Amino acid sequence: MKPEKIEKWLPHRFPFLLVDRVLEIKPGESILALKNVSYNEPFFTGHFPERKIMPGVLIVEALAQAGGILLYHSHPDPDSVFVVLSKIEEAKFRKAVIPGDQLKLSVRMLKQKASFCTFEAQALVEGEVVAEAKLVAGIMKKSELDEKI
Q: What is the pLDDT of residues 118-131, one digit of tens each?
A: 999 999 999 999 99
What 112-117 contacts at long range (C-beta under 8 Å, 24+ apart), as own/partner pairs, is: 112/74, 115/139, 115/140, 116/86, 117/67, 117/71
Once rounded to an integer, what is the mean pLDDT over residues 129-146? 92
pLDDT on residue 106: 98
pLDDT on residue 101: 98
Fold of 3-148: Thiol Ester Dehydrase; Chain A (3.10.129)
Report the catalytic residues.
47
Rounded Cα distance, 30 and 110, in Å: 9
pLDDT at 149 over 70: no
pLDDT on residue 20: 96
Which SS3 state, helix, strand or coil, does residue 103 take?
A: strand
Q: What is the pLDDT of residues 25-46, one digit of tens each?
A: 999 999 999 999 999 999 999 9
0.85 surpassed by pTM? yes
Q: What is the pLDDT of residues 94-116, one digit of tens each?
A: 999 999 999 999 999 999 998 99
